[in-house]
Structure 1
Amino acid sequence: MIYVYDGSFQGLLTVIFHSYKVLEEVEDIVKSRERYPNKDKIECKTEIDKARRVKNSIIKNFSYSFYRNIFMVFSANSGKKEIAIAKTLKKLYVKGFYYIESDDEYIALFRKILKKVSEEIKTYKDHLYFDKKEGFLFAKFSPENNILYHIFNHFKKKFTNTKFIIADTGRNQAVFYDGIRAEFFDYEMQENFKIEDNYVTLWQIFNDVIASREEKESFWT
């Protein structure tokens, strides 16, 4: 049995909600854009209320810190992160949180992915370089894992009331922080751009996004 979801964190939590009773029989959890074997599959539509119930349950039964670890694993560039998260959660609910130190196949994979993502986050926290541009700070990087949110969260606390842009050039994603609120947005990086051009382009895209933005609750904070 394979579950198919939209690739979002809320989508994965929705899958966990619906598949919990049969997780032992689930072979994999894949994004809808990925190819998957011609086996029994279940298309799972994201339901924010169901995802929030899973989130709240994780925090209540384990801790907020562990919930953040789950989100960190979800940030990994790994095709097995979804099944590792789902199976790990099921084992911990059944056996207790102490089981996180077991040599269970999926829990060991969960810990391995978490360590790898954590190490990359620490590297960029220590070594991300910012240029100063007209009252803003601007940095770009191309991490292996999708860690833009984690890096942003670190520098938001470090640079109090400071405006900055951080761009993940490998994924064409960026975050703009004006000292009060943040906006994540997609952009298309053109070849041979200088850092000054990148800054101007991202600033223009940010203004376009803000002009048409819809207020959304940040799910993972």
Structure 2
Amino acid sequence: MIIYLYDGSFEGLLTAIYEAYYRSEKPEQIMAQDSYQPDLFSQPRVIATDSDKAGKVYDAIERKISHEALEHVFYVYLSELPGLGTLIYRYLQFGWRVGADINGHLSLEPVREVLRISQKVGVERHRMLGLLRFKKIQGELYYAPFEPDYNIVGLMAPHFARRLADQNWIIHDLKRGLAAFYNQERWLIRELANNTGQLNWEENEAFYQELWQNYFQRIAVEGRTNRKVQRQFMPARYWRHLIEKPTQ
């Protein structure tokens, strides 16, 4: 069983798909190198990332299938779920045969799974746009920690670059040690260790957090509180970083 191994990057995955398409040997699986477990039956092939090859695959997805398919592929990649490389490969194999109609073929498992996973990633992005909470630290900088299920920090940064264009901010994915940094001009993604205990908060930050907590409590009507619906739109696993629910 031939397995193509890539470096874990999106460019690396697209390069592996390029090689799978043009080489005479066809892999049964495509996976990140750090996910591979050697066994007696597999024949691993390490695929070096090539920006030109990755770019050709990127363009071919958008041109021969659709921009929507490209977005679904990227969202599935951001899910970090097991088997995503092979799933994307199978999805694109079919997509290059049928073109823009691919997402109408829901009877095919690769299509159905790509759409299902992409939707889950998109839902979390949408949900976190409303649940992210910024806190002010010294140096006129706003900081927002969160721990998403999927690797969505790069999907969220453009939204806040528009909404908070006149501020300096950091959106920090504590689970992955990644952060989006914005300096009122552009944003970028960099690694950032989880050392929030060393942050120096702005002098009035605690006061403003208390005001927000009091507001949240006062507008709540106990008789109309629906905990089930609340957890549906604001799942408990996100409460840790919500200013209005500090005791959860």
Q: Does the alignment reach a TM-score above 0.5?
A: yes
Q: Is structure 2 residue 159 aligned with structure 1 residue 154?
A: yes
Normalising by structure 2, we get a TM-score of: 0.72
Q: Is structure 2 residue 146 aligned with structure 1 residue 117?
A: no
- Aligned equivalents of 1:171, 1:33: Cα separation in 2: 15
**1:28 matched to which residue of 2?**
29
**Deviation (angstroms), 1:84:** 1.4
Summarize deviations over 1:155-209 as a string: whole Å, max 9, x none. Answer: 112222332101000111112110112232112224xx4383599xxxxxxxxxx
**1:105 matched to which residue of 2?**
109
Q: Is structure 2 residue 128 aligned with structure 1 residue 141?
A: no
- Aligned equivalents of 1:52, 1:7: Cα separation in 2: 16
- Aligned equivalents of 1:135, 1:169: Cα separation in 2: 21
Aligned to 2:79, the other structure's residue is in SS state: coil
**1:182 matched to which residue of 2?**
187
- Aligned equivalents of 1:94, 1:15: Cα separation in 2: 19
Structure 2 matches for 1:77-92, cutoff 5 A? 77-92=80-95
Q: Which runs of 5+ in 2 are unaligned?
A: 203-248
Aligned to 2:115, the other structure's residue is in SS state: helix
The CA RMSD measured in Å over matched residues stands at 2.3
Q: Which runs of 5+ in 1 are unaligned?
A: 200-221
Structure 2: which amino acid aligns with 1:11?
Answer: G
Q: Is the 8 A contact 2:169 2:182 kept in 1?
A: yes
Normalising by structure 1, we get a TM-score of: 0.81
- Aligned equivalents of 1:59, 1:195: Cα separation in 2: 44
**Deviation (angstroms), 1:61:** 2.0
Aligned to 1:33, the other structure's residue is in SS state: helix
Structure 2: which amino acid aligns with 1:54?
Answer: V
- Aligned residue pairs total 197
Aligned to 1:122, the other structure's residue is in SS state: helix
**1:3 matched to which residue of 2?**
4
- Aligned equivalents of 2:198, 2:132: Cα separation in 1: 14
Structure 1: which amino acid aligns with 2:67?
Answer: Y
**Deviation (angstroms), 1:37:** 4.2
Aligned to 2:166, the other structure's residue is in SS state: coil
Q: Which moved more, 1:156-165 or 1:135-144?
A: 156-165
Q: Is the 8 A contact 1:174 1:186 kept in 2?
A: yes
Aligned to 1:174, the other structure's residue is in SS state: strand
Change (3 A) 1:91 1:185: same
Q: Is the 8 A contact 1:177 1:183 kept in 2?
A: yes
- Aligned equivalents of 1:137, 1:176: Cα separation in 2: 10
